[in-house]
Structure 1
Amino acid sequence: MKKVILITGASSGMGKVFAQDLAKEGHIVYGAARRTDLLNDLSKQGVQTISLDVTDDESMKFCVQTILEKEGRIDVLVNNAGYGSYGTIEDVSMEEAKRQLDVNVFGLARMTQLVLPGMRKQKSGKIINISSIGGKIATPFGAWYHASKFAVEGMSDSLRLEVAPFGIDVVVIEPGGVKSEWATIAYENLIKTTENTAYKDMADKFKQAFEKTIAKNAEPQVISRLVSKAISAKRPKTRYVGGYMAKPALFFRKWLGDRTMDKVLLSQLPK
């Protein structure tokens, strides 16, 4: 069945692939992003594009209202907008920490608030939150990013219980390593914030370790297939996992104690 789907953060990476793939499946897809110039190629592929800044309330309200006026409904919201701000807790400014949470948590929550009244009225809908295995496992230097994704995990669990009586599903997608600009942004922030600090040597080793894995990261289509599966399923899973090392990492996190997990994570840094 053709659905009206709104995807945030559709200008690059996974969000762009979600929009392309779901449009090919015949859905009415709205790809939303702040960098609208990067949405032009989506327009040529049958995706409706719309401006959206998830840190601006008026922008979020305008986006949702525009779609509702044109289509009469929003069946699926894919909360994909987000980024990774890396650096130590000691060195990252509170301003940047708040921005990380504003984009990854509060923007997601506000978009959810805006689409829920319509979904409740039609007694159906799906909220798909793009989290990360970083919402279950924390690495050095990613405290604010992990805090945001841990929050998305908990928020999604509460939301799922609240909206179940209205026929609305809440799904969490937990990607592992996926090819995108995410890593570049995260590591640039890391090097910038630790350049002249006591953590510089450790940060350099951390970046070296993860640069070795970038080539092994999964194509975003792997996660796109999970999103499509969640949308088409009559009773979707509450969580879907995919991408490089996602399932093994979550397996170890589940069964290893904190101290052992710490040793495993730190062992990945070059000597």
Structure 2
Amino acid sequence: MAARLRPAHLLIEQFGSVRRISINNPRKKNAINLQAYSDLADELNAADEDESVTVAVLTGVGDFYSSGNDISALMSSDKTIEERLESSNSHLTRMVRAFYSFNKLLIGVLNGPAIGVAATTAVLCDVLYMADTAYIHTPFTALGLCAEGCSSYTFPKLMGRSKASEMLLLNHRMSAQEALEFNVVAELFKREDFESKLWPRILQYGKLPVGSIKATKQLMRKFESDKLEEANEREAQVLAKRWFTEEAMQAIVNFMSRKSKM
């Protein structure tokens, strides 16, 4: 097993033909900044092109899968707000595309809460496993923003319109049990059982013929690729506009104020 640490809080490990990419920023509950967006896209694309990889696994270090976008890092940049948001949207769109264009087997392991873009991109994985104590939360309207990570397409498709609306419009926090009931995840595990029960299974998946996986994935998503690309681009365009609204600005100020008091 080889491991390396990327500067933007990513831990990369190779177990035979299985590559594990762990978000490793526990001090900020594995929040993702702009550099991490770029590095995550790079790592997914590299795993997709690497002939030694059959399965890529995404997870988090510690108690959180990821708390989502690192808003504090975005707001503290020395660039203008316009430059920051243009860069953010570009990095976000590219990262999301790396998820839905991945040709091999992509497995998400939600070891803890998945929030915002971390949740929406996790749903783009082929198979999603989840700790029974974790939850999924997409508080986009609470921040005055909008759906991202293709969730405007994937959430209604997976959960049905009513539950998706509760998630994306009403900021509902989905429990692990709900995620199982609404077809978001394949199976729940106790977090302490990940290494002993889930990981050996994933290592066995790494022995499957990669050509067969790629062929079947291509068949399964033949009619979805264009829709995912359209959702990604459309959401990015609307999100870029939402950042400049008074609603979003006030919500972010309130969010930063709450964080400073913690």
TM range (shorter): 0.3 to 0.5
TM-score by length of 1: 0.32
TM-score by length of 2: 0.33
Larger Rg: 1
